[in-house]
Chain A
Amino acid sequence: MANDNYVRALVSGRGLPLREDDVDTDRIIPARYMKGVSFEGLGEYVFRDARFDESGKPKSHPFNDPRFAGASVLIVNRNFGCGSSREHAPQALARAGIAAIAGESFAEIFAGNCVSLGLPAVSVSAEGAKELQGMVEADPSLRIEMDLEAKELRAGSRRFPISMPETHRKALVTGLWDSTAELLPGLAAARALAAGLPYLAWARARS
């Protein structure tokens, strides 16, 4: 089942610092830009309201900053991705070129959605996140390597320990993050379990 194309053991690129706690998914992708039956084109609207004013004029924002154009490792702070379960949020980030995220902590549904897309979202210490942001601001060309096998993030001469739920890490390094592929072999067992659930018996009686 493992597919080498799905392995996300090592992700590297330049950094994009986004200094703010509690960044919610409405900020990442406002609901009014989610009107569509696919995720196509969402990258254009990432942080839309924070990046542009009412008249569409660009505001100062890391995603608008030419120094960080083409950067793929987003560096955030505490409780990133809180709020709505919308997968549109990590989809928009991925479609805007983000391949990995490092920060102090992540809201759980968001972190789970990231794994579903093969997008590593790893925790570093609060100080580590701030230090990394400072390093990237000082040198936008800095190459960052996120190594999920060694559980560390390397930037210049610095090494930062990283953590994430072990099951997420395992899914990413082995290429098993396609959860439907992982779950399908268990479908027969799921049917057997369902046959024994008391409430499904009375649900059948009502249908």
Chain B
Amino acid sequence: MSANLFDKVWDLHRVGKLPSGRDQLFIGLHLVHEVTSPQAFAMLAERSLPVAFPERTFATSDHIIPTDDQSRPFKDPQAEAMMAALESNAASSRIALFGRSSGRQGIVHVIGPELGLTQPGMTIACGDSHTSTHGALGAIAFGVGTSQVRDLLATQTLAMDRPKVRRISVRGALGKGVGAKDLILFILSRLGVEGGIGYAYEYAGSAVRALGMEARMTLCNMSIEGGARAGYVSPDETTFEYVRGRPFAPAGGDWDRALAFWRSIASGDDASFDDEVELDASEVEPMVTWGTNPGQGIRVSERMPRLSELPSERRAGARAAYAHMGFSEGEPIAGKKISVAFIGSCTNGRISDLREAAAVAKGRRVAAGVRALVVPGSMQVAAQAREEGLDLVFKEAGFDFRLAGCSMCLAMNPDKLEGNQLCASSSNRNFIGRQGSALGRTLLMSPAMVAAAAVSGEVVDSRSF
């Protein structure tokens, strides 16, 4: 038996044991955005502490920026104040900030891998729970709160307990038209939204190995929705090919040294785990959530569960979810009329997601009465989409093609649901109020499924397109 990737990377970054008994863990890459950092910079200033590793700290803006008109100052004075604080903190601390003028601005979990900042064997942290995304490259990546952002700025380290590691092996192959979003929604529906508490998830098995890098990012992104502290895929040739040639990737003689390092930290065939779960890829179909947490998902062909079919401890939550959604137990999810379609977010705002959605949208029209938005995850994703003509495909179909940001995933910018609109969304959370209206309703699904819903006006199996 040998150590798994998580334990190898943890040991490599463990500075020592702290008085509280927690480990002091060095973080190789700290990513910063405008919502969870200004308070941390203020706490640092109060203590007269400098940023310890500005060269390992990178910033961008994503949560609050508008996606229609990004000219400054922003129309929303609060958003402008947050943006200005980020700019001033980055400048005074000599932290690289990827703003609009860099051409590299975007959602923090999209630009990290895109720029080659995210690499196998690293420890990564960011004041955002979806930092688990970066685990797709074989890094261990933690979402943290603002006090820990302060810790990172002051020391580039975190005080943490080492989680256990659960390997989730997915046997077989995903069917045609079934992807990583469906797989993670399936996993959440099986293991629950609190099943991962105390664990990091290693995703493995033939169905995971077959996924491209961006699909692996989608998978790892929603580890946090399962309650896991982190999620990752042990790196392989797919990973190395993805990293090669990116702006911050190792080059020249360093490339070979990097490959040797990356192979050394991968989980071996005989790696041991604290827990193992096996799933069969053939059971996964396009998935849709019917409730108000991401574990409340079913196959698009299924009916919503009857309360009596659910474990007793799940019934109260399901009853409340049905009340909010206006759905009844036992109803099919297919055929539910939507009024908004949102394609984007750190879960599904990458070029492969836009290609998948465009393939469905091409030559079709958004249904009457549906507002459809495509929000690229980064300026580079948007540029690539334009180069491939995807922006035109979307526009001709009646989608709004926006500028990069988090947008309607969490509605901190002007992109919000109104009233009790039902939204087909490629984002990660269907929590009540998440998309900007207290009465708003979210159906989580893949980008292809969102595009199919947009052009049909209702939930429909995207494989029929």
Chain A: residues with CB nearer than 8 A to chain B?
1, 20-22, 24, 26-27, 30-32, 34-39, 49-50, 53-54, 78-79, 82-88, 90, 105, 107-109, 112-113, 116-117, 126, 165-168, 170-171, 174, 176-177, 179-180, 182-184, 186-187, 189-191, 193-194, 197-207
Contacts and interface: CB of A to CB of B under 8 A. Distances in A.
B438 interface: yes
Contacts of B151: 179-180, 183
Contacts of A194: 26, 28, 53, 56, 156
Contact of A190 (B15, B43, B122, B193): B15
Contacts of A116: 145, 147-148
Contact of B144 (A37, A85, A165, A166): A85
A206 B250 contact: yes
A32 B412 contact: yes
Interface in B7-32: 12-13, 15-16, 18-22, 24, 26, 28
B129 A186 contact: no
B197 A49 contact: no
Given A35-B76, A38-B42, A183 B194 contact: no
Interface of B: 12-13, 15-16, 18-22, 24, 26, 28, 35-36, 38-39, 42-43, 47, 49, 52-53, 55-56, 63-64, 76, 78-79, 81-82, 85, 119, 121-122, 127-129, 131, 143-148, 150-151, 154-161, 163, 193-194, 197-198, 224-225, 227, 229, 247-252, 254, 257-258, 261, 293, 313, 316-317, 320, 410-412, 416, 429, 431-434, 436, 438-439
26 contacts: A24-B293, A27-B431, A31-B411, A32-B416, A36-B78, A83-B129, A83-B431, A85-B143, A86-B36, A87-B127, A105-B194, A109-B143, A112-B160, A113-B146, A166-B21, A189-B16, A194-B156, A198-B257, A199-B119, A199-B121, A199-B258, A200-B56, A201-B254, A202-B251, A206-B250, A207-B55
Given A85-B143, A112-B145, A190-B156, A26 B429 contact: yes
Contacts of A165: 161
Contacts of A34: 35, 412
A31 B20 CA distance: 32
B26 A21 contact: no
Contact of B257 (A35, A113, A167, A202): A202
Contacts of B12: 197
Contacts, number: 242
B15 A202 contact: no
A22 B317 contact: yes
Contacts of A206: 247-251
- Give me the 7 closest cross-chain CB pairs, A-B, nearest first: A116-B147, A87-B145, A113-B145, A49-B438, A202-B254, A35-B78, A37-B38
A58 to B, nearest CB: 13
Contacts of A190: 15, 24, 26, 52, 155-157
B157 A186 contact: yes
A21 B317 contact: yes
SS of B interface (majority): loop
A6 to B, nearest CB: 12
Contacts of A182: 18-20, 159
A38 B144 CA distance: 17
**Majority SS at the chain A contact face:** helix
A1 to B, nearest CB: 7
Contacts of B433: 26-27, 30, 49
Contacts of A39: 39, 146
B258 A198 contact: yes
Nearest to B251: A206
Contacts of B28: 194, 197, 199-200
Given A21-B317, A206-B248, 5 more contacts: A88-B146, A107-B197, A112-B160, A165-B161, A182-B159
B19 A176 contact: yes
A191 B156 CA distance: 9
A174 B79 CA distance: 39
Contacts of A203: 55-56, 248
A32 B436 CA distance: 7
Contact of B194 (A79, A171, A187): A79
Contacts of B252: 205
A47 to B, nearest CB: 10
A189 B15 contact: yes
A85 B142 CA distance: 10
Given A184-B155, A199-B261, A113 B147 contact: yes
B145 A176 contact: no
Nearest to A78: B194
A38 to B, nearest CB: 6
Contacts of B39: 37-39, 87
B190 to A, nearest CB: 16
A127 to B, nearest CB: 12
Contacts of B150: 180
A54 B254 CA distance: 57
Contacts of B197: 79, 105, 107-108
